[in-house]
Amino acid sequence: MSTTIGSAIEHQVGSTGTVSIRTTDGDVTVTAVDGEVARLRSSDGRDLGDHYRWRLDDGALTLEPRDRGVFGFQRLFGDRMPDIVAEVPRDAVVDLETVSGAMTVHGARGRQRYRLVSGAIEATGVAGPIAVDEVSGAVHLDAVDRASIRVRTVSGSVHIAGPGFDSLDVHTMSGLVDVRGRLDGTGPFGFDGVSGSVSLAVDGPILVAGTTVSGSVVTDLPHRTSGAPGRRTIEVGQGGPLVAFKTVSGTLRVVHDGSAVGSAGQGPDTATGTGTTDGTVLADDPRETARLEILRDLEAGRIDVSAATARLAELDGGSAAGRAAASTGPTASGGGSSTTAAHDSWAVHFWDHRA
């Protein structure tokens, strides 16, 4: 069953069918409903055919810009595309892409993929596998049931909350990350980046393995700690899942669920007791001043991670700590791309990344 009337499209995709919506500057609002029918309409009543084209397949509905232009950016000058309001089956596959529009999603339980350049996404009442690729907008995910989440962002802030996660993978260059919920699935669980701070609020046991150049792993909870320069393990409770944290100069703070608002990157500087840090910078040490300059160059995109880690190793005089920093740098950066290079690459190739 399919119906198309100017500003609206209705198509039976099935309870687990696929709904794909791609736009440039239009906002997208998706609400999950019972049934097997997907319904799309423009929010202002404009004819969708003036800006979009669509394909109605067996078990799938696809809406995309009619004329993408260079690199997929339609109408660099001219009218803004109509905002899209959609109802989709609750367990459908939801695939959304936008350049500068915002996304709002509620109630989706099937596989979800969201891709944005500078827009923000807010998904509430969601569950299931969720993947987000973002450049500089905010990511806000509130799950009401079990979820497996992967987020890649350059500088956008990330908020993730839910009752329990089967897996969690967050990569950020310099964004702030706030995660709340129980990590009790099969995993993997991990955070990596260059300089972003992570606040991890948990209500169960956890084992954090941190790999860092000058960053830190911090907790106020009772714990056991071990490790060497550049590598630190913190265990809260017993039998908890392994959480990998890889960074150049970022901070991960582990707190009890409900007490982590805005606290990433703050905490005691003691090495024992109930608070611990690794990689605290001493401002009056000339080597640490030089180290900070290298990290600033890295974050500004003036050098890549390979060059930064080589300079850090040279600064350390070939010590074990320097070699450890050099070996972990490329992993912490997600392959050595600078913030500027990553932003340009994502913007240019945004429409081509559909794998």
Q: Which long-range contacts (CB under 8 A, 24 or more apart) does 262-268 make?
A: 262/199, 263/199, 264/176, 264/177, 264/178, 264/197, 264/198, 264/199, 265/197, 265/218, 266/218, 267/218, 267/219, 267/220, 268/218, 268/220
CA 234/CA 264 separation, integer angstroms: 16
CA 3/CA 9 separation, integer angstroms: 6
Count of CA atoms in the C-beta half-sphere (13 A) of 258: 3
pLDDT at 209 over 70: yes
Question: Comparing C-alpha atoms, which of 115, 204, 114, 210 is closest to residue 165?
Answer: 204
Q: What pLDDT shows up at residue 255?
A: 93
In a domain, 259, yes or no: no
DSSP 80: P
In a domain, 174, yes or no: no
Q: What pLDDT shows up at residue 124?
A: 98
The full DSSP string for 8-69 is: EEEEE--TT-EEEEE-SS--EEEEEESSSEEEEEETT---GGGTEEEEEETTEEEEEES---
- The 3-state DSSP class for residue 176 equals coil
The counts of H helices and E strands in the chain are: 4, 23
In a domain, 231, yes or no: no
301-311 burial string, b = 16+ CB within 10 Å, else e? bebbbebbbbb
In a domain, 330, yes or no: yes
pTM of the model: 0.74
What φ, ψ does residue 291 adopt, rounded to 5°? Answer: -65, -40
Q: Are 83 and 99 in contact (CB under 8 A)?
A: no
Give whichever of 157-161, 301-305, 316-320 has the largest mean pLDDT. Answer: 157-161
Q: If pLDDT is split at 50, 70 and 90, which confidence band does 66 have?
A: confident
CA 124/CA 114 separation, integer angstroms: 14
Q: What pLDDT shows up at residue 31?
A: 98
Task: Tell me how far the alpha carbon of residue 312 is from its chain's centroid.
Answer: 28
Domain limits for position 331: 286-352
In a domain, 160, yes or no: no
- The 3-state DSSP class for residue 331 equals helix
Measured torsion, CA atoms of residues 95, 16, 107, 153, in degrees rounded to the nearest 10: -30
In a domain, 294, yes or no: yes
Higher pLDDT, 70 or 168: 168
Mean pLDDT of 8-14: 96
What φ, ψ does residue 311 adopt, rounded to 5°? Answer: -65, -35
- The 3-state DSSP class for residue 95 equals strand
In a domain, 197, yes or no: no
**Exposure of 285 by Cβ count < 10 A (0-12 exposed, 13-18 middle, 19+ buried)?**
exposed
Q: What pLDDT shows up at residue 42?
A: 93
Per-residue pLDDT of 247-303, as tens digits, reads: 888 899 999 885 443 333 333 333 333 444 333 332 344 655 576 566 666 656 677
CA 261/CA 273 separation, integer angstroms: 23
Q: How many domains would you assign to the chain?
A: 1
Question: Comparing C-alpha atoms, which of 209, 231, 243 is closest to residue 279?
Answer: 231
- The position carrying tokens 């005089």 is 317
CA 56/CA 129 separation, integer angstroms: 24
In a domain, 326, yes or no: yes
Count of CA atoms in the C-beta half-sphere (13 A) of 8: 9
Q: Are 267 and 211 in contact (CB under 8 A)?
A: no
